[in-house]
Amino acid sequence: MILKQNKSSKKILKKKYINNKIKKINFLNMNREKLYIFFKKIGEKSFRVHQLMKFIYNNFYDNFDYMTNFNKNLIYKLKKYAVIKYPSIIDQKISYDGTIKWILKIKNQNIEMVYIPEKNRATLCISSQIGCFLNCSFCYTAKQGFNRNLKVFEIIGQLWTASKFIFLNKSLKLNKITNVVMMGMGEPLLNLSNLIPSINIMLDNLGFNLSKRRITISTVGIVPGIDKLKNMVDVSLAISLHAPNDYIRNKIIPINYKYNIKNLLNSVKNYLFKSKANKNGVTIEYVMLNNINDKIKHAHQLANLLKNIPCIINIIPWNKFPGTNYKCSSNEKINKFIKILKNYKIIVFIRKTRGDDINAACGQLSGNIHNKFLFKK
């Protein structure tokens, strides 16, 4: 005989099922403060947080069984309530200049990050969003449209995955990552809730222990985001200006209609007033587009625009991508432009194009898949 369940018994069974189905937390979503709270809740001392962070960020362990300082009871609790999940590398491309572009898989979507080696350092360019909302006309990422913001574990997980790759593949003799730039896919200041905890882990001496001067947030100019940022974290700031006036900037960067150059630079001044990470001034990024923003009069306009802003101008030769009519300014035009800026006593650098043969240069990231490869896990 089959007994019918009354409504109250069904509720009890449903409640019991839900309580037994524990949603595990991801430790890569948690900065030190959140880890303290978690360990207190499971009845463990705070020093366990220090041990855990060393296991995760020094040894790159993602398996609690490897954490030999922990007793069996603690390991049982960690397995029950937590995981260490991160984006996985599914593709890589290596440039003739040593630049590496990694494509990472997050569920059914892809993001890109770029490893840029120098003689005594290495920079990792990481993404903050899948795609981009801002539709800047000279950027390939914008052509992909916007999908979503990346979560903390998906942002810090890029640095963690790249660092683990370098750690496990010592035979490749890759430099340890010393600098991080938020210049990959997406606009960082439209994802502050996930960006700030990620940067806190980068700065934490139990995390990646990076200097605030070695972490750069690049923004196209989200004024409310800059205003909030100055009260949240102090790191290097880069502004994707790319135009000497609102007329040109409106055409190539649509968000300028909402946050024009005057408002943007006022916001930058306020950030610099409070920042210690930008002692040499803000970095102004300026992509050179043939016959768009590269004329002699534009150089004079740019210099006058920035005369009261402590800054370094980073001139960027435009990098080509499919489906666009833009062209990069000639070397002659770029050199004349730089010479005029230097006559105003402005510090100017030209960004060396890296990884353009593998579509890893500035403005070329899209998340497209290339040939797969084998690597140590």
CA triplet 101, 140, 112: central angle to 5 degrees? 25
- Is 112 labeled as catalytic in the residue annotation? yes
On the CB side of 36, CA atoms within 13 Å amount to: 5
Helix axes of 331-343 and 296-305: crossing angle, nearest 10 degrees: 40
Q: How far apart are CA 215 and CA 277, in angstroms?
A: 9
- Residue entry with tokens 């994707």: 240
Strand, coil or helix: what is 331? helix
- Would you give the distance in Å from CA 351 to the centre of its chain? 19
CA pair distance 344, 284, nearest whole angstrom = 15
- CA nearest neighbour of 362 among 372, 352, 371: 352
Mark whether 285 is an active-site residue. no
Task: Give the 3-state secondary structure of 232-276.
Answer: CCCCEEEEECCCCCHHHHHHHCHHHHCCCHHHHHHHHHHHHHHCC
Provide the 8-state DSSP code for 133.
S
Among the listed residues 33, 112, 285, 328, the single catalytic one is 112
Instruction: Catalytic residue, from 125, 139, 311, 362: name it.
Output: 362
**Cα 253 from Cα 142, distance rounded (Å):** 11
CB 272 within 8 A of CB 303: no
**Count of C-beta atoms within a 10 Å radius of residue 371:** 7
Can you say whether the dihedral through the CA atoms of 126, 131, 132, 133 is positive or negative? negative
The residues that are catalytic are 112, 362
